[in-house]
C-alpha cells in the first residue's frame, strides 16, 4: 500500500501516500477535519489527548483496508508544552510528523515498520495543535511479548537472536526508541524465520548527546518487559551476546550489564504515566512471593 510518492491535500494539512489516496477519495475523506472526525470505535490505546484506533476502510474495489490511526487532539498539549513547541524547543515537535518521518527514515535503512499511509497537521498561530498519523495494519503479526508467551523453545531462541541483530543495527545507526518494550516490536512468524517490525516511533530520535545513556534505557526497557513476559535467563544472555557481537563477555560488557540491571531495577518500582501495559511489580512483598524482583534481574549478564 505504501508508496514513495506523497500527495499533498487540503491546502497542505494532509500528506498521503499516492497508493492510499484513492481509498480516501473514495470515502470522501481527503481532508484533515474528515479524518479527525472519524468515530473512535475500536480503541487500541487511549489517554488524555491521544487516541489510537483501528479502522477498517473499504476501497473502490470493495476490498477491506485495515489501518491504525493515532490522533493528537488539542488537549494533548499543556499551555507550557504549547509554548515550548512554539519556540522549537528540542523534543517538543509534533509527534505525529516525527513518527511519519521516522517510518520513512527507518524503512529507507532496511528496518521493517508498518507502512506509512497519511499524516495531517492543523496549526494555531503557526504551531501544530492537532495532528494524526495513519499506518497500515501489520497482518499476521503479533506483539513480541504475546509471541514469547506462546512460542516454542527453538522459536524463543531464534527470537532472541533476531531481536539482538535488529537492536544492534538500530543502535549502530544512531537511533534510540525511548519506549523499547517488547510490545513495541511485532513478530510475523508464519512458519518461517520471524520477521520483526518496529512500531510506535513517535519518540524515536538520533541523540547527539549521551547516546550510550539512551541505549541503556532502551536495553533496560527491553529486558524489563522480557522478564515480565517470562523470558529465560538464557534468552537474555543469547540476546546480549548477539547485540554486543561477542561470544564471551568482556569487562566492558559486564559494566554495561550492570547499568542495564540498575535500569531494570528502577523500572520495577515505577508506575508508567500512560502505558498500563507495563504495570510494575507490586513491591518487595510481591517480589518475595513470586521471586520476580529483584531476582528477575539476574537473567541479565552479571556485572
Nearest to 281 by CA among 266, 260, 261, 301: 266
pTM: 0.87
Look at residue 281 in the predicted model and tell me its pLDDT.
Answer: 42
> Rounded to an integer, what is the distance from CA 240 to the centroid of its chain?
20
pLDDT digits (tens, 9 = 90+) for 164-181: 999 999 999 999 999 999
**Do residues 44 and 34 touch, judged by C-beta distance below 8 A?**
no
| pLDDT value of position 152 | 86
In 3D space, the residue among 22, 2, 258, 16 whose CA is nearest the CA of residue 136 turns out to be 2
Q: How far apart are CA 116 and CA 119, in angstroms?
A: 8
Q: Where do the domains of the chain lie?
A: 6-136, 142-299
CATH architecture of 142-299: Orthogonal Bundle (1.10)
CB atoms under 10 Å from CB of 35, counted, come to 22
Report how far residue 22's alpha carbon sits from residue 39's, in angstroms, rounded to the nearest whole number.
Answer: 21
Per-residue pLDDT, 67: 95
Which parts of the chain have pLDDT scores under 50? 1-3, 274, 279-297, 303
What's the pLDDT at 52?
95
In terms of DSSP bridges, do strands 127-136 and 43-47 run parallel, antiparallel, or are they unpaired? unpaired
Amino acid at each position: 500500500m505504501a508508496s514513495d510518492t506523497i500527495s499533498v491535500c487540503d491546502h497542505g494539512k494532509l500528506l498521503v501516500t499516492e497508493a492510499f489516496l484513492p481509498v480516501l477519495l473514495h470515502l470522501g475523506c481527503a481532508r484533515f477535519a474528515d479524518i479527525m472526525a472519524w468515530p473512535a470505535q475500536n480503541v487500541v490505546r487511549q489517554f488524555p489527548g491521544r487516541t489510537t484506533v483501528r479502522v477498517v476502510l473499504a476501497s473502490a474495489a470493495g476490498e477491506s483496508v485495515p489501518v491504525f490511526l493515532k490522533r493528537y487532539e488539542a488537549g494533548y498539549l499543556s499551555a507550557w508544552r504549547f509554548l515550548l513547541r512554539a519556540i522549537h524547543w528540542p523534543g517538543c515537535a509534533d509527534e505525529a510528523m516525527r513518527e511519519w518521518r521516522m517510518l520513512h527514515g527507518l524503512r529507507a535503512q532496511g528496518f521493517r515498520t508498518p507502512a506509512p499511509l497519511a499524516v495531517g497537521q492543523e496549526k494555531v498561530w503557526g504551531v501544530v495543535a492537532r495532528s494524526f498519523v495513519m499506518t497500515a495494519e501489520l497482518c499476521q503479526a503479533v506483539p513480541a511479548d504475546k509471541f514469547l508467551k506462546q512460542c516454542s523453545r527453538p522459536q524463543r531462541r531464534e527470537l532472541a537472536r533476531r531481536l539482538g541483530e535488529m537492536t544492534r543495527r538500530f543502535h549502530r545507526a544512531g537511533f534510540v526508541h525511548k519506549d523499547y518494550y517488547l510490545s513495541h516490536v511485532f513478530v510475523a512468524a508464519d512458519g518461517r524465520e520471524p520477521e520483526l517490525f518496529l512500531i510506535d516511533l513517535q519518540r524515536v530520535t538520533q541523540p547527539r548527546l549521551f547516546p550510550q545513556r539512551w541505549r541503556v534505557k532502551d536495553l533496560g526497557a527491553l529486558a524489563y518487559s522480557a522478564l515480565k513476559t517470562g523470558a529465560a535467563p538464557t534468552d537474555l544472555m543469547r540476546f546480549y551476546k548477539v547485540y554486543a557481537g561477542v561470544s564471551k563477555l568482556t569487562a566492558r560488557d559486564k559494566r554495561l550489564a550492570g547499568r542495564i540491571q540498575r535500569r531494570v531495577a528502577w523500572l520495577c518500582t515505577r508506575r508508567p504515566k500512560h502505558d498500563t501495559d507495563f504495570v510494575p511489580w507490586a513491591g518487595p512483598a510481591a517480589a518475595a512471593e513470586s521471586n520476580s524482583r529483584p531476582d528477575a534481574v539476574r537473567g541479565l549478564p552479571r556485572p
